[in-house]
Amino acid sequence: MAQLSEEQRKLIEKIGIFHEQQGFPPATGRIMGLLFVTDRPYLSFEEIIETLNISKSATSNALNMLLQMRLIEYTTYPGDRKRYFGALLENWHQEVVNKMEQVLSFSKLVRQANELRGTSNPEMNKLMEERVEFMEYLSQEVPKLMENWLKERKK
């Protein structure tokens, strides 16, 4: 079991609540919180269960979801049949790009809804169009910001 301070435990709960508000199951966010605050790069399935006091089923489902989303990774060690899980921190750039692709995809759906609704509610159409324009702008600018930020870091 990972040894955690009371402050770490509170932060895990806050991270868990944040992820719940984003639509994730409770165990998913708590596991992410644990993997962020632990001083160990990887924890076993059993350590996650014991530390967070969650069921095997909830842990398994959450880990599978996080693996599919490429938010965590696992490793194994020679002579040990267990899998050890850790936060996949190197891919955050791609995560940002993926979010922007989602924003752009949603903006296309909103634009289509706007077109299908017709012209009987021009105020709503105007507000929806502003939203679409901003989402499109954001999806174009964020990759540029990322590129500039990466260049600045290399100096």
What is the average per-residue pLDDT within 35-51? 95
Q: Cα torsion at 92, 93, 99, 101 (round to 10°)?
A: -150
Give the range among 23-37, 91-105, 107-121, 125-139 with minimum mean pLDDT. Answer: 91-105
48 pLDDT higher than 80: yes
The dihedral built from the CA positions of residue 54, 57, 77 and 35, taken in this order, carries a sign that is negative
- Six-digit token pair at 8? 């770490």
Say what the pLDDT of residue 89 is. 83
C-alpha closest to that of 102 among 146, 62, 135, 141: 135
Cα–Cα distance measured from residue 29 to residue 22, given in angstroms and rounded to the nearest whole number: 9
The dihedral built from the CA positions of residue 108, 109, 115 and 118, taken in this order, carries a sign that is negative
Q: For 64-93, what is each residue's pLDDT tens digit?
A: 999 998 899 999 999 999 999 999 888 788
Angle at 121 between CA 115 and CA 122, to 5 degrees: 80
Say what the pLDDT of residue 79 is. 94
Could you tell me whether strands 43-44 and 72-77 are parallel, antiparallel, or unpaired per DSSP bridges?
A: unpaired
- Six-digit token pair at 87? 């936060």
- Average pLDDT score, the chain: 91
Query: Above pLDDT 70, what percent of the chain?
Result: 99
143 pLDDT higher than 90: no
Cα–Cα distance measured from residue 9 to residue 145, given in angstroms and rounded to the nearest whole number: 34
At 8, the pLDDT band (50, 70, 90 cuts) reads very high
